[in-house]
Amino acid sequence: MVTMGAKREQCHLYPGGIDEEVFEKYSSKDPEDFLEEHSIPDNVKLVTYLGTIEERKNPLAVVKMAKTLRTLEGVHFVIAGYPSDQDRALRSEAEGLRNLSYVGAISEEEKIQLIRASYINILLSRMEALGLTQLEFMYGGVPIITSAVGGQRWLIRDGIDGIHLKGPDDFKGAAEAIRNLIANPELRDRLAINAKDRAQEFILSKITSELSSHLISLNS
């Protein structure tokens, strides 16, 4: 904007992406503290949804996954996020499910603990511009199962960083993807490594952008 004639004092940058400082700040915190506080088993693989409890993000689909896979041993679903228009319905649908924990809104510290404790991140969103939360899970080395709508299709590469489903109502595909990653830990770990590398690319891009802005400032 400056090179196009705007005054620098008129421009404000709101950086997006991963806040590495938050990850570093809470990296020494034991995820088991979070699990214990919310009565989540620590000897299972967590399939995690983190986001607003609203219809657009489709968290009820995760409850349906928990119901479908209630006999899948060693797997526990976690739903966390600020309550919104699907909170009441989600609580009702999740009642009595022993393989699912709904923990509601969590702090930044708890978010990092949850990411570190997770085996898979799942998002069956109906509409998504990008998915900053997915980028954070990727930074934490967690592969993504996604409905692949909007920016999700671009951010997460199918078969590389995670698994694309055939939209937000592809419950069969989601169940198969979860079973596949649980049964094939080597595949899961390969996706996790790629996901972390992908997130690192975004950090490098941000650093490059900030450096370019600094050089423009020095030369203007």
Nearest to 133 by CA among 93, 91, 160, 162: 162
Domains and CATH numbers, the chain: 8-219 (3.40.50.2000)
Residue 116 pLDDT grade (very low, low, confident, very high; cuts 50, 70, 90): very high
Whole-number mean pLDDT of the chain?
A: 89
**pLDDT over 80 (residue 175):** yes
Structure tokens at 13: 């940058």
Number of Cβ within 10 Å of residue 105's Cβ equals 11
- What is residue 174's predicted lDDT score, i.e. its pLDDT? 98
Structure tokens at 3: 């090179």
* CA 205 – CA 31 distance, rounded (Å): 29
Q: Is the pLDDT of residue 179 over 60?
A: yes
Q: What's the burial of 149, exposed, middle or buried (CB within 10 Å: 0-12/13-18/19+)?
A: buried
**What integer pLDDT is reported at residue 207 of this predicted model?**
45
Identify the pLDDT of residue 92.
Answer: 96
pTM: 0.85
Q: For residues 86-101, b (16+ Cβ closer than 10 Å) or e, as one string?
A: bbeebeebbeeeebbb
pLDDT in tens, 41-60: 989 999 999 999 999 999 99
